[in-house]
Structure 1
């Protein structure tokens, strides 16, 4: 509970309001605000849970694809650097005559 809400409840209780009624009002206000926020986001219908599950699966697949692509690029760069190193060593050690 926020400090402002707690202060308002304490003030209303001091003025004679029942604490249980005030807590009920605060809870109902919170649920109403949450329902309004979900409606504004377009998540108030019955299919919203399924939509969110599908979006999470899609996001997980995107992250997996991104991770796989990064690993593939790093492997390719590593292979290229290793090949360049081996060619450089071959030239340095005089193995270029074997190619002719």
Structure 2
């Protein structure tokens, strides 16, 4: 049973016991607001600058991911170049290019 079903069941029970549905909805909404505020406070995101901080963190994370991707591509490029250079040296040795240059 998920949270929505539990909440609906509890509201149904309270309504049967005489609570007004509008009052129950208001209580649930207020409880949600209090819980969300408590969670944000625990995370240190309760102030007005939190929106900007989160935006800045997302930008920083995106930049970090781009840097990792670029570094990986550069490393792969260098490995491919080294392998091609080794193949070229091997072909030169096999064909006797070293003796031809002398």
Give the TM interval when normalised to the shorter protein: over 0.9
- Is residue 26 of structure 1 aligned with residue 28 of structure 2? yes
Match 1:54 to one of 53, 56, 71: 56
Scaled by the length of structure 1, the TM-score of the pair is 0.93
- 1:10-45 Cα offsets, whole Å, 9 max, x none, are 101111211121111101100110001101111000
Task: State the 1:52 CA deviation.
Answer: 0.8
Give the total of aligned pairs: 100
Q: TM-score, normalised by structure 2?
A: 0.91
Cross-structure match for 1:85: 87
Q: After TM superposition, which residue ranges in structure 1, 4 or more long, deviate above 2 angstroms?
A: none
Unpaired runs of at least 5, structure 2:
none
Deviation at 1:97, TM superposition (A): 1.0
Alpha-carbon separation, structure 2, partners of 1:6 and 1:99: 87
